[in-house]
Amino acid sequence: MSHGLQHEGEAEPRTNGAETADSDVDADADVDDDATAEPGEFTFDDLSVVMGTYNEEAAIGTVLDDIERITDGKAEVVCVDGSSDRTPEIAREHGARVIEQEPQGYGVAVSAAIHAADRPVVVTTDCDDTYPMEQLPEFLAEINDGADVVSGDRLYYGAEAMPGFNRFGNQVFAAIASVLMGERVHDTTTGMRAYRKEVIESIEWTENTGLSAELLIRPLMRGYEIREEPISYAERAGETKLDPIQGGAEIAKSIVKVCLEERFR
């Protein structure tokens, strides 16, 4: 098995939100494939989908409905929540395990969520309905094919729903990380990834705002097999919580710090 990063091309983007009859058929087919998995392969019963949630009552129900539909209700869902609105109540109504936490930032919540997962494959996502849960079967298939981490590449299809400033910033982050690591990556700050649980447990995670980049950089620089999977990116439901200037500066700082730590460890 080769180590490093592979980029998986795809002919057509997957879509978020409203589903067509054909896509419903595809989702059913994926569930059937899960039920007849080869011995030793991971199935949706082995999957935890985790997220940090903060005042996302406008979208959380849709995201959890999508996970329920695509995995036939088999995946564990964990939300680490610091909300002051109905987000945790809605999450519990949809069967999620909710861990309440004082708001301390993105990375603190997501780090708690990935460590709270009980199953051998962990998928991170955001709770704002921007990521395509329809691609969970593909992410799981890549893990079964030998990947240690599968990282969703939002920029492959253009990410037109993303604000232009954010899109440019994400391209810059990827360029900085690529130079410092000596290996080309395309989207360092995506929120949708799949991990083998042992990868999560083998590394000490230190970043907060920059955790999404750290979750890619450290495994890649330690020789784990990383695959970038093109994904669609939808317009978020609700208001963004991250200041693009301050948050961008913190992410860039984390990328440089983590790359240098891994280079000289």
The string of pLDDT tens digits covering residues 160-203 is 999 999 999 999 999 999 999 999 999 999 999 999 999 999 99
What is the chain's mean pLDDT, rounded? 89
Residue-level pLDDT at 4: 64
For the CA atoms of 124, 130, 134, 139, what is the dihedral angle to 10 degrees?
Answer: -30
Residue-level pLDDT at 179: 98
Measured distance CA(119)–CA(46) in Å, rounded:
5
Q: Is residue 193 within 8 Å of residue 152, measured between CB atoms?
A: yes
Fold of 4-263: Spore Coat Polysaccharide Biosynthesis Protein SpsA; Chain A (3.90.550)
Q: Token digits for 48?
A: 């935890």
Measured distance CA(128)–CA(237) in Å, rounded:
5
Strands ordered across the beta sheet of 149-153? 4-7, 225-230, 149-153, 193-196, 121-124, 47-53, 76-81, 97-100
Look at residue 22 and tell me whether its pLDDT is greater than 60: no
SS3 190: coil
Q: Tell which residue, 227, 182, 178, 223, has the closest CA to residue 199.
A: 223
Beta-carbon count within 10 A of 159 CB: 22
Residue-level pLDDT at 36: 55
Measured distance CA(134)–CA(96) in Å, rounded:
18
Residue-level pLDDT at 9: 64
List, in sequence order, the alpha helices (H) in 12-59. 21-35
Look at residue 48 and tell me whether its pLDDT is greater than 90: yes
Q: Comparing 23 with 151, which gets the higher pLDDT?
A: 151
Residue-level pLDDT at 95: 97
Residue-level pLDDT at 17: 46
Measured distance CA(230)–CA(224) in Å, rounded:
19
Query: In the predicted model, what is the mean pLDDT of residues 230-254?
Result: 89
